[in-house]
C-alpha cells in the first residue's frame, strides 16, 4: 500500500515537471521486446507477446493525447522481420489488421488523429493492405493530430525508394542522369520520403534495452534525441513514458556537430 502511494506521488510530480517543460512535437517509438516478453512470461507462443504489445499501443496514444503531442510514429514491423517464421508472421499480420481497425474506429469517433502507414506496403498480405487503406481513408480528415504506422518499414529502403522516385520524376521532366546527379541536394531527397510533410522526430524511444535505432527513420532522425528503456514493450508504463519526455525536456538540442 505504501509503495503504491509513493509510486503515485512520484508519477504526479513527474507529470507536473513534464507539463512545465518543452514537449516534443513528434515522438517515434521502436516497439521492441514482444517476443522476449512472451518467453519471460511463459506464454504459449510469441504471438501472444505481439498481441500484448498491440494493446500497449492504445495506452501510448492516450498518453500522447494527454500531453498534446501531435505526431506519433510507431514502428510495428520492419523489412527484416519478414525473415521470421511464417506462423509468427501470420499472427503479426492478423494483429495489425485487428489493431489498426480498432484504432481507426476510435479515431473516427474522436476525430483527433489521422492514421496512415509508411513502408513497403506491397510486401504485406492483401488483407492487411486493405485494412490499412480503409483506416487511412476513414481518418483522412481528422485533425490536428496524426498517427504514423511504420509497417514493412526499413530506413535504408525508404532512402532507396526516395532516390528512385526522385530520379524517375526528374527523368519524366526531361532531365538527364548527369544533370540530376550534379544538382542533387539533401532537401530534395527529403521531399521524396514516405511522409515528407511530417516534421522530423524530436524524440525516439526504444524499449527492451537495445541501444540502437536499427534503421528507424534513418533519414529523419539526424537531429533527434534518443531514449533507451530497459523494459520490454508490453511492460512499458506511463511512468517510463514520462521519464522519456522528462529526459527530452532536460536536453539542450543542437543541430550540428
Alpha-carbon span 236 to 67, nearest angstrom = 17
The CA-atom distances, in angstroms, between 73 and each of 24, 130, 154, 200 are 12, 20, 13, 10
- Residue 32 known to be catalytic: yes
Whether 47 contacts 95, CB under 8 Å: yes
Task: Exactly one of 32, 34, 142, 202 is catalytic; name it.
Answer: 32
Q: Which strands sit side by side in the sheet containing 145-153, from one edge to the other?
A: 113-118, 145-153, 71-78, 26-30, 203-206, 225-228
Q: Find the catalytic residue in 65, 81, 161, 200.
A: 81
Number of CB atoms found within 10 A of residue 201's CB: 25
Q: Phi, psi at residue 14, to the nearest 5°?
A: -65, -45
Partners of residue 82 on adjacent β-strands: none
- Is 81 annotated in the active site? yes
Contact 246, 63 (CB under 8 A): no
Q: Which residues are catalytic?
A: 32, 81
Amino acid at each position: 500500500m505504501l509503495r503504491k502511494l509513493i509510486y503515485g506521488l512520484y508519477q504526479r510530480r513527474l507529470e507536473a515537471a513534464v507539463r512545465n517543460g518543452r514537449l516534443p512535437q513528434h515522438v517515434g517509438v521502436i516497439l521492441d521486446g514482444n517476443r522476449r516478453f512472451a518467453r519471460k512470461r511463459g506464454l504459449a507462443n510469441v504471438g501472444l507477446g505481439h498481441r500484448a504489445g498491440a494493446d500497449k499501443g492504445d495506452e501510448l496514444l492516450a498518453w500522447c493525447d494527454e500531453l498534446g503531442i501531435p505526431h506519433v510514429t510507431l514502428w510495428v514491423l520492419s523489412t527484416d522481420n519478414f525473415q521470421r517464421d511464417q506462423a509468427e508472421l501470420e499472427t503479426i499480420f492478423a494483429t495489425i489488421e485487428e489493431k489498426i481497425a480498432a484504432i481507426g474506429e476510435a479515431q473516427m469517433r474522436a476525430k483527433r488523429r489521422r492514421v496512415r502507414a509508411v513502408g513497403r506496403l506491397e510486401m504485406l498480405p492483401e488483407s492487411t493492405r486493405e485494412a490499412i487503406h480503409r483506416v487511412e481513408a476513414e481518418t483522412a480528415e481528422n485533425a490536428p493530430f496524426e498517427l504514423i504506422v511504420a509497417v514493412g518499414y526499413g530506413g535504408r529502403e525508404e532512402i532507396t525508394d526516395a532516390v528512385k522516385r526522385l530520379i524517375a520524376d526528374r527523368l519524366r521532366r526531361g532531365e538527364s542522369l548527369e544533370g540530376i546527379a550534379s544538382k542533387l541536394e539533401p532537401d530534395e531527397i527529403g521531399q521524396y520520403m514516405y511522409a515528407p510533410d511530417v516534421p522530423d522526430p524530436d524524440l525516439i524511444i526504444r524499449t527492451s534495452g537495445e541501444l540502437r535505432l536499427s534503421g528507424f527513420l534513418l533519414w529523419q532522425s539526424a537531429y533527434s534525441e534518443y531514449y533507451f528503456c530497459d523494459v520490454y514493450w508490453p511492460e512499458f508504463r506511463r511512468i517510463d513514458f514520462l521519464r522519456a519526455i522528462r529526459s527530452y525536456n532536460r536536453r539542450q538540442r543542437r543541430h550540428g556537430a
